[in-house]
Amino acid sequence: MKTRALVWLAVLSAAALLFAACGGEQKKEAKSAEGQEKAPAATIKLSYANFPPAPTFPCVQMERWKAEVEARTNGGVKVDTYPGGTLLEAKNMFRGVQEGQADIGCLCMSYQPGVFPLSIVTDLPVGFTSSTVASLTLWDLYLKYQPKEFAGVKVLTMFTSAPSNIMSKQPVRTLAELAGLELRASGTPSKVLGLLGATPVSMPMSQCPEALQKGVVQGLLSSLEVLKDFNFAEICRFETVTDFPVYPFAVVMNLDKWNSLPEEVKKVMDDLGREQAEWTGRYMDAHVRESLDWSKEKYGIEVFELSAADRAEAEAKTKGLVDEWTAQAQAGGLPAEAVLKDLAELKAKYEAQYAK
Ligand code: DTR
């Protein structure tokens, strides 16, 4: 009796499976017959790696991109996000994506000197005053020059941080007070600090909380939203607005993975490239203001502005970095002068368009 019941159960389950499978097929056919191309039949799963913790701006923009892609493909694409270096770390992000350890990765170009010889032009001291302007300038330069440093991947979007300012455990009211101060930075912003007499300690942002806690550094040079997102305001009670360089980022996809995607999915992602750059810039600029208010309210931080004389001195001392980049880029066969000219024109165009 028991055996017969089991046999029936098996027969019924097999029939149910067969029915479901046929139903699925019919559903698929019906869909394409109706021309509902938007929702691919099978869900495409993509992994997206990021190096800093979830509340920070590179991850906030990642979640926004995920939501948009999932919605615009009617759930045909599912993006699994990995913040906090859980899949790839800051320095192996680019290689990891090329090798397929993650389908998509968000990288900061300033963390890998020499790897992005053209795009890194945006982390020079060229006077960006907002992330929106710098992000759109970077994206347009990328589209125009299609630099071969990104030939091994599909670039989904680019954006930058807001201009860098000093956050410190002790007051830095003047350039003179920078002398010998150990500050965390990276890439060209580190060189800026060195030229101004500070002692730059280079490392990705993800290592900064520990370096601050352990006293390896007395502060950092970055955009001010980290006061809130990393709670740095608790330890760095003094901020100096210097408007030093921005840090450029790229979101890249493994090329084989990209080539395997259906055309309608590629279109959704291509359409998002510029939009995402602008969205991130605007989010960043607004979040810097919010973070400053929050830090004043919660920790009573003090904010200093560099004097006009100090600003002029900083500019004079660091403009050699632009010449250095120009010489290096030209030696590498890049049209450095044209890139700088375009950068200045784009910056002016977007500054006119977007009030700070
Ligand atoms: N300013 C760069 C980039 C950056 C700014 N905010 C964050 C937050 C999380 C990671 C990176 C960044 C830097 O200081 O590394």
Distance between CA atoms of 291 and 355, rounded to whole angstroms?
Answer: 19
Mean pLDDT of the chain, nearest integer: 91
Question: Which of 66, 97, 150 shows the shortest CA–CA distance to 256?
Answer: 97
Domain boundaries, the chain: 44-161+248-284, 164-246+299-333
What percentage of residues in the chain have a pLDDT greater than 90?
87
Whether 38 contacts 76, CB under 8 Å: yes
For residues 207 and 230, is the Cβ–Cβ distance under 8 A?
Answer: no
Question: Ligand 1: which of 59, 138, 226 to mutate, most ligand atoms within 8 Å of CB?
Answer: 226
- Tokens standing for 154? 């599909």
Q: pLDDT category, 18, cuts 50, 70, 90?
A: very low
> How far apart are the C-alpha atoms of 63 and 137, rounded to whole Å?
23
The pLDDT score that the predictor gives to residue 42 is 73
pTM for this predicted structure: 0.88
Position 41 scores a pLDDT of 57
Q: Say how many Å lie between the CA of residue 205 and the centre of ligand 1.
A: 6
Ligand 1 centroid distance, CA of 261 (Å): 31
Q: Which residues contact 216 (CB under 8 A, 6 or more apart)?
A: 182, 201, 210
Whole-angstrom distance, CA of residue 271 vs CA of residue 156: 9
| Other Cβ atoms closer than 10 A to 182 | 17
Cα–Cα distance for residue pair 292/162, rounded to 1 Å: 13
What pLDDT does residue 37 have?
53
Gap from CA of 173 to ligand 1 centroid (Å) = 23
For domain 164-246+299-333, give the CATH number: 3.40.190.170
Say which amino acid occupies 288. Answer: V
324: its two tokens: 């250095």
Q: Quick one: which atom of ligand 1 is closest to the CA of 184?
A: 14
| CATH number of the 44-161+248-284 domain | 3.40.190.170
pLDDT, tens digit (0-9, with 9 covering 90-100), for 321-352: 999 999 999 999 999 999 999 999 999 999 99
44-161+248-284 and 164-246+299-333, same CATH topology: yes
Per residue in 89-136, pLDDT tens? 999 999 999 999 999 999 999 999 999 999 999 999 999 999 999 999
